[in-house]
Amino acid sequence: MVHRQTGDHDGAIAAGRQALALAVALGNGALQRQASYLLGQAYHAKGDFSRAAELLRSSVEAADRESSASHTASQSSSRARLARTLGALGAFAEGRCRGEEALSLAMVEGRGNTLLIAHGCLGDLYLAQGDLEHAILMYDRCLALSRAAGNRSWLSSSAASLGYALALRGRLAEGRALLEEGIGETISTGARQRALWVAWLSEVCRLMGHGAEAWQHARQALDLARRLKERGSEAFALHQLGAVQAQADPPDVVQSEAHYQQALALAEALGMRPLQAHCHHGLGQLYHQTGRGEEAHVTLSTAIDLYRVMDMTFWLPQAEATLAQVEGLNT
């Protein structure tokens, strides 16, 4: 756990593997469950979401075999972490099921960090799908619970996540303030910075029309993600760099396309289907912007298909509108 909290994901994975192997050798079910749970979180942080999901499913199954009042917390937490990981993979139907189960179990438990984990992780899944109404509800509750409990780790996480969700809803100033509060809280406690949150801050600055700040934060997010070997966050940062460069005046078309393509390749390698959709969407807009109609049609159609199959309806109208413009120019 110390390795994971300090950003040493390789160390956390090595220790987790050793613990899991020992638990299997001893035939200790409770230790296997805990080792799978912690190892799954380490793989999630590293960006190996498929492996993380596999381990967290094992943790859920083990917790259910131990089913009793004393194990409600582990049943809830395992499901919550699995839901968050499934959100990164775009497996939203299964993720919602597991996340809602986690929240129901947490309400029964009603103490400790269980409620924070359930609300925060389910919020992450809703956010990934673009269900901003439910994401905001989860994060708002998590933030209130964190403030009441004095839990600074979850306070920073829920503030940053709530801020980003609010910004996507158009509440840019309020969202940025909360996002910066979350990042600042992390810095003040001496915890490692989250590259993903810095990438979010880049997007919010871009939406506010602050291109120079957006560029600075996107570069910072990329550098931080690469230093910590967080490949999922690296993919998000690359996507943001592509978006910032596409909206520059004048647009840096070559670099924008290169960063979008790098983000797409990494998202495909990691199975991050929601981010794949966003990369195709960004490329489609860039191609349309630069008069490359055929390429725009292909990439936008791919984005729309992905958004539809994952029921990511928040981004769908914009992609459909851009495709309609492309098709109008081609008729």
Residue 13 counted as domain residue: yes
Confidence tier at 3 by pLDDT (50, 70, 90): very low
Range of the domain at 176: 92-189
Nearest alpha-carbon partner for 312 in 40, 170, 94, 125: 125
* Token pair in block for residue 176: 């940025």
Mean pLDDT of the chain: 92
- 12, 32, 66: which is the final residue of a domain? 66
| Residues 37 and 104 both lie in one domain | no
* Token pair in block for residue 212: 């120079």
Residue 7 has a pLDDT of: 60
Count other Cβ atoms within 10 Å, centred on residue 109: 20
Q: What is the pLDDT of residues 102-114, one digit of tens each?
A: 999 999 877 779 9
Residue 236 counted as domain residue: no
Q: What is the pLDDT of residues 58-67, one digit of tens each?
A: 999 988 887 6
- 189, 220, 243: which is the final residue of a domain? 189
| Residues 56 and 119 both lie in one domain | no
- 25, 50, 66: which is the final residue of a domain? 66
Distances (CA, A) of 302 to 111, 229, 237: 44, 29, 21
Flag whether pLDDT at 4 surpasses 90: no
Q: Give percent of the chain with pLDDT exceeding 90.
A: 79
The CATH number of the domain holding residue 143 is 1.25.40.10
Residue 199 counted as domain residue: no
| Residues 62 and 9 both lie in one domain | yes
Residue 64 has a pLDDT of: 86
Residue 295 counted as domain residue: no
Q: What is the mean pLDDT of residues 316-323?
A: 97
- How many separate domains does the chain show? 2
Beta strands in 185-325 (DSSP E): none
d(CA 214, CA 143): 26
* Token pair in block for residue 102: 């986690």
